Amino acid sequence: MSDPLLQAFFVGRAAAEILTEKLEFALTDALSELGKWDAETREQLRHFTDEVLERANRAAEAAGAAQTTSYGEPGSASVDLQATIDDLRAEIATLRTELQRYRSSNSL
């Protein structure tokens, strides 16, 4: 290797190969960490969702138990579906009004 130009070529090629390998390892590690983080985040979200559903089911059961004790036999009271829908619509309208009032008072 007496030719300095030829030696510079091989040194440059070796440096490029090493940099490429190091970049490949760094990228692989970064993607691996990103994958781990994504999996952990999804697992935490799944646990959170399960806990929310569990609490909602317990609350629904408690409300159902309270309803059956206050009305006697389960299913003995006839449920007027249209009246329930009307009540829910009235509650929604009230909540919208309160929300608009809250937003207007905070915008000043």
Computed over every residue of the chain, the mean pLDDT equals 85
Q: Give residue-wise pLDDT tens across range 17-26.
A: 999 999 999 9
Split at pLDDT 50, 70, 90, the class of 61 is confident
Q: Give residue-wise pLDDT tens across range 7-47.
A: 999 999 999 999 999 999 999 999 999 999 999 999 999 99
How does 58-84 read in b/e, with b if 16+ C-beta sit within 10 Å?
eeeeeeeeeeeeeeeeeeeeeeeeeee
Report the C-alpha gap between 83 and 74 in whole angstroms. Answer: 19
Domain ranges of the chain: 1-75, 78-108
Split at pLDDT 50, 70, 90, the class of 66 is low
Q: What is the pTM of this model?
A: 0.44
